[in-house]
Amino acid sequence: MKKNTFSFKNSLPILAGGLLLTGSMALISHSTATPTETKSAKKITEADLKVETVVEGLEMPWSTAFLPNGDLLVTERVGKLRLVKNGKLDPQEITGLPSILYKGQGGLLDVALHPDYKNNGWIYISYASPKAQGEEGDDGGANTALLRAKLKDHALTDVQVLFKAIPNVKANVHFGGRIVFDKKGYVFLSLGERGQKENSQNLGKDQGKVVRLHEDGKIPTDNPFVKTAGARPEIWTYGHRNPQGMTIHPTTGVIWEHEHGPQGGDELNIIQPGKNYGWPSITFGIDYDNSIISKDTARAGMEQPVVYWKPSIAPCGMTFVTSNKFKEWNGDLLVGSLKFMYLQHLVVKGNKVVSREILFDKLGRVRDVRQGPDGNIYVVLENSGKIVKISPKA
């Protein structure tokens, strides 16, 4: 393999074929960078940035949303919804949440404001919902659900459960749970395969899927599998493992998603309606006992990732940068790593990732990455119970 001689400061050399390395860490791209792309390298370095603690004292924080008045809404996976006011954690919890299963990887998950929140006040929350009477699946099981509600003082009001994935499963892994809104009034929810990998390919179950709903939870009549016999009509894409990052491209409106692989094979994907993303029929990873899950990394009719990570970084949280405070990064992705406790900056050109760099090694187990209304980057750190702000020093 011939090495591409173009590289850039504080980043990584790019090899033809798209292999990007730092030490033993690798991110594999299915696109090949061109000299023009590598010359347009981003000039911001970690030394130009500062990290400040916004709030601490949280218990397993998972996600945050910025309210118009400057307060932060924060979910704690233990099942608590909290407010941060003027940099201080409000000791009074927000009431009105439904029953939540806090076990394993389950609990209170994502929080997102409706795009027209200032006018309608709707807050959307995903969570692990225990099996209720009459629901399909295992007794004692659970699955990912989506609600919307309004906030009055310290209470949720007008609580509406919009959707719950079926069936309920006893395993306490792979809930997914990310929420995004597109520019057309639809809401998308990512769903893990709940440790039952074969069901990612089963259109009759919600496991390992991304679903699309109207903002009131109704199923759009033009979803790709509405007329497919035996298929769940809410399904938008399938063949996912545990998608814990979703975000909308700021100009194209395209959904980008990342998901955990097993040992190796974490993926970054562009989400397109009706597409099959392959898990577990194709994968770049192996199982935790080192056994082979599939000998194939590609099959006809199955999508290839934009990039994949090997070894796994356990990606969680992701945002496109659009801020004037980070002009050189505009249009690029920031991705969190649970396993290695850093941020990755992925340089994006069109639908390709042309290079990447590690930022703030050992920052903490990153659960969420958001760009705030002030243009700074906010990072939710699970292990330390903090939210930190990244901003330019000057």
Mean pLDDT of the chain: 91
Domain for residue 32, yes or no?
A: no
For residues 239-251, average pLDDT: 97
Per residue in 169-206, is it b (16+ CB within 10 Å) or e — as a string? bebbebbbbbbbbeeeeebbbbbbbbbbbebbbbbebb
H/E stretch holding 36 reads: helix 35-39
Q: What are phi and psi of 270, to 5 degrees?
A: -100, 125
Query: What is the domain range of residue 116?
Result: 59-267
167: pLDDT strictly greater than 60: yes
Instruction: Tell me what pLDDT residue 394 has.
Output: 81
Domain for residue 71, yes or no?
A: yes
Instruction: Tell me what pLDDT residue 29 has.
Output: 61
Domain for residue 195, yes or no?
A: yes
pLDDT-based confidence at 20, cuts 50/70/90?
A: very low
19: pLDDT strictly greater than 80: no
pLDDT in tens, 194-205: 999 999 999 999
Locate 293 and state its tokens: 């899950």
Domain for residue 354, yes or no?
A: no
Domain for residue 140, yes or no?
A: yes
Residues, the chain: 394
Domain for residue 273, yes or no?
A: no
pLDDT-based confidence at 14, cuts 50/70/90?
A: very low
DSSP 226-256: TTSTTS-TTEEEE--SEEEEEEE-TTT--EE
Contacts of 195 (CB under 8 A, 6+ apart): 169, 171, 173, 174
pLDDT in tens, 24-70: 345 666 543 322 233 344 589 999 999 999 999 999 999 999 999 99
DSSP 272-288: -TT-B--TTTS-S-B-T
157: pLDDT strictly greater than 90: yes
Domain for residue 124, yes or no?
A: yes
> What percentage of the chain reaches a pLDDT higher than 90?
88
Locate 297 and state its tokens: 């990394």
Domain for residue 53, yes or no?
A: no
CATH at residue 201: 2.120.10.30
Is 174 among the catalytic positions? yes
Domain count, the chain: 1
In this structure, what is the dihedral angle of CA atoms 72, 75, 81, 85, given to the nearest 10 degrees? -20
The active-site residue, picked from 174, 240, 258, 345, is 174
133: pLDDT strictly greater than 70: yes
Cross-strand bridge partners of residue 235:
211
